[in-house]
Amino acid sequence: MNRSPHVSESDAEEQAALWAARLEGSSLNAADRAALDAWLGGDAARRALLSQYCQFSSDLDQLLPMLVATGAIEIPQAAPARRGWNPWMAATAGLLAAAVAVAAVWVVIPRQRPDSIATSVAQRKQFTLADGTRVELNANTTMVIENGRAERRVRLANGEAYFVVSKDKARPFIVETPAGSVRVTGTIFNVRTEAATELDVTVVEGSVQVRPGEMNGSQPSGPVDIGAGDSLSAGKAGLSIRALSADSLDDALAWRRGQIVFDGVPLDEALARYSRYHGRQITATAAAGGLRVSGRHSLDDLDEFFAELEQSFPVRVVPDPSGSVRVSLRTERAGPGLR
């Protein structure tokens, strides 16, 4: 059973399935135990692989009848006894059949191996997950996916994502963020998280259940149900829910078309959105940051947005050789904090 550590993944899984079947079906003698230890010692990943196969092996009694009944797998029939048939050969054949069954279950039921997808600065991407769910990621967004047997779970560490969730009542779809979680079975919604305490959820179709995290040091609140056209915001100012008109809903999702819409937003907040999208430090002085910005703007064309600012407000936009940008009132004198 000793193998080179540089065996293929399929060979390692075959051996793990066989060992799981042997551990499930009989006791190992000293020689078998030594062989197992030698195989495990050949690669650090084998121990975790064997553990996963053993878990599936322990579920066979419940899973096999269903899989056989539906035709998903076919268990090999034992050969009739014949002269010269070695009992060890019969035992090995049974173990191999069990290993085949375990491997079949392993294929039929998705493995819970997390996968990651991400976007870089000024980049938007679309993905289709293993369960058929479609995801669109805004710039600077990172997401980890776990497509399990009982639930589908994604972890949105930061950024913004638009989900068209494949319907599956048996496996809820859960989005976890540092600022709370969203639970659905099949719907269309948008999630944005800017910090550990900032969460925005907008529902396009269906309904979702939101569990906001800790806010302002207080204990997390209970679950909140919102439906199509609703937008929930949870953050330092507390929790609020508002019903969006068709136009407002379109504005909230404008990032999917490379646009952003402001409606009386303080300039420093508008600059923070561009700063995140482009991965650049873009700030304003206290006096300039309080100006209110409105209108639909291009997310990708930063120079155009700066030009519009200087045309609409008495401000100046000063870039720095390092790539950072500072916005100030034209009447403000150069000094600390100004470039």
Residue 339 lies in a domain: no
Which among 61, 77, 108 is the end of a domain? 108
Per-residue confidence (pLDDT) for residue 112, from 0 to 100 = 47
pLDDT at 94 over 60: no
pLDDT at 298 over 60: yes
Q: What is the mean pLDDT of residues 60-84?
A: 51
Residue 232 lies in a domain: yes
Domains identified in the chain, total number = 3
Q: Give the 3-state secondary structure of residue 67.
A: helix
Q: What are phi and psi of 71, to 5 degrees?
A: 80, 10
Per-residue confidence (pLDDT) for residue 186, from 0 to 100 = 87
Same domain? 241 vs 134: yes
Per-residue confidence (pLDDT) for residue 16, from 0 to 100 = 75
Instruction: State the pLDDT confidence band at 44, using cuts at 50, 70 and 90.
Output: low
pLDDT digits (tens, 9 = 90+) for 182-191: 999 889 999 9
Q: Range of 200's domain?
A: 115-251
Q: What is the mean pLDDT of residues 139-163?
A: 92
pLDDT at 334 over 60: no
Same domain? 62 vs 142: no
pLDDT at 113 over 60: no
Same domain? 104 vs 227: no
DSSP 54-81: HHHHHTHHHHHHHHHHHTS--PPPPPPP
Instruction: State the pLDDT confidence band at 248, using cuts at 50, 70 and 90.
Output: very high
Per-residue confidence (pLDDT) for residue 339, from 0 to 100 = 43
Q: At what angle do helices 45-58 and 9-25 cross, to 10 degrees?
A: 50
Residue 38 lies in a domain: yes
Same domain? 98 vs 126: no
Which tokens sit at 282?
């873009």
Which among 219, 251, 283 is the end of a domain? 251
Which among 108, 129, 146 is the end of a domain? 108
**C-alpha to C-alpha distance for 285 and 279, rounded to whole angstroms:** 19
Residue 334 lies in a domain: no
Same domain? 40 vs 146: no
Instruction: Write the burial class of residue 126 (CB in 10 Å: 0-12 exposed, 13-18 middle, 19+ buried).
Output: exposed
Q: What is the CATH number of the domain that holds 284?
A: 3.55.50.30
Per-residue confidence (pLDDT) for residue 338, from 0 to 100 = 47
Q: What is the mean pLDDT of residues 117-142?
A: 93
Same domain? 122 vs 246: yes
Instruction: State the pLDDT confidence band at 114, using cuts at 50, 70 and 90.
Output: low
Per-residue confidence (pLDDT) for residue 77, from 0 to 100 = 55
**C-alpha to C-alpha distance for 224 and 235, rounded to whole angstroms:** 15
Same domain? 57 vs 137: no
Between 301 and 61, residue with greater pLDDT? 301
